[in-house]
A and B are shown apart, each in its own frame.
Chain A
Amino acid sequence: MINWMRAFFEAKSENESLARMMAAGFFSALNPTISEITDVKTAVSEAVTNAIIHGYEGKGGSVELYCAYDTQKLYVEVADQGIGIGDIPKAMEPLYTSKPEMERSGMGFTIMETFMDSVRVESQPEKGTRIYMEKQLSRE
């Protein structure tokens, strides 16, 4: 890796915009296009929201945001030590949500997969969840 950062913050919804700004600020050194930076901000927002709502079920905890890049790609990881995901393929299905009463759309993972090149989820019940994402930047 050429450069990386790691931040921990409280699982509060106010910090969703903080996480987006940290990722956008960190990756701005790579001169991404506005579209690319919005892609990353959207994916970070979805992953961090998942940690806050699903991982910690709104009860709070520590969310980790890791951002890095090498010459080829940028990398984002979002992790929590919350309740974990029992059935990862099901959680990643479009329109599936475990919280319909909260008007969650069930589109979070679909949006992450649309805007990033790859999305991988590791999760263990009662241990937590870590989402790994990668994106290649368009370069002249």
Chain B
Amino acid sequence: MEVSYEKKENILIVKIIGEIDHHSSNILRAQTDAQLDNINGKHLLFCFQQVTFMDSAGIGVILGRYKRVQSLGGRIAIACAGERVLEILRISALTKIIPSFSSKEDALRYLEGGKLK
């Protein structure tokens, strides 16, 4: 798994390439928290377009970041998740609390404006 970070105003964009399992989720968690600390980001966008595999470890990481961002008054969104990742998110009911968008632009609009669509 590779992760890259980009900051757009007060939004931290996390782009993940590869597989999210228990092993890689520990790296994803530590790096994302460090980035949130460093850049003072408020909102968080997970870009999942190039995620080739995810198991329940991914749910734990997303939920943990959701709690963290929310406690500081921020929002979190998911963009471009494939059908398989969406299925894992749905099974765990994560889609009920974290909005998921088919494009990065729509997700950014939501995080900037705070509205769903």
Contact = CB atoms under 8 A, between A and B. Distances in A.
B64 A49 contact: no
A46 interface: yes
A104 B53 contact: no
A107 B92 contact: yes
A103 B23 contact: no
Interface residues of B, number: 19
Interface stretch (B35-43, B55-63, B107-115): B55-63
Interface centre among B29, B56, B61, B84 (most CB of A within 10 A): B56
B102 interface: no
B55 A45 contact: yes
A33 to B, nearest CB: 12
Contacts, number: 61
Nearest to B59: A105
A38 B59 contact: no
Interface in A35-72: 35, 38, 41-42, 45-46, 49, 52-53
A17 interface: yes
DSSP class of A's interface residues: helix, strand, loop or mixed? helix
B91 interface: yes
B56 A53 contact: no
A28 interface: no
Interface residues of A, number: 23
A130 interface: no
Contact of B91 (A38, A53, A111): A111
Contacts of B106: none
B80 interface: no
Nearest to B29: A103
Nearest to A15: B23
Contact of A104 (B21, B60, B91): B60
Contacts of A49: 21-22, 55-57
Interface in B1-40: 19, 21-23, 26, 29
17 contacts: A14-B23, A17-B19, A20-B21, A20-B53, A35-B84, A38-B53, A42-B53, A45-B22, A46-B56, A49-B22, A49-B55, A103-B64, A104-B57, A105-B57, A108-B56, A110-B92, A111-B88
Given A45-B21, A110-B92, 4 more contacts: A13-B21, A49-B56, A103-B61, A105-B59
Interface of A: 13-14, 16-17, 20, 35, 38, 41-42, 45-46, 49, 52-53, 102-105, 107-108, 110-111, 114
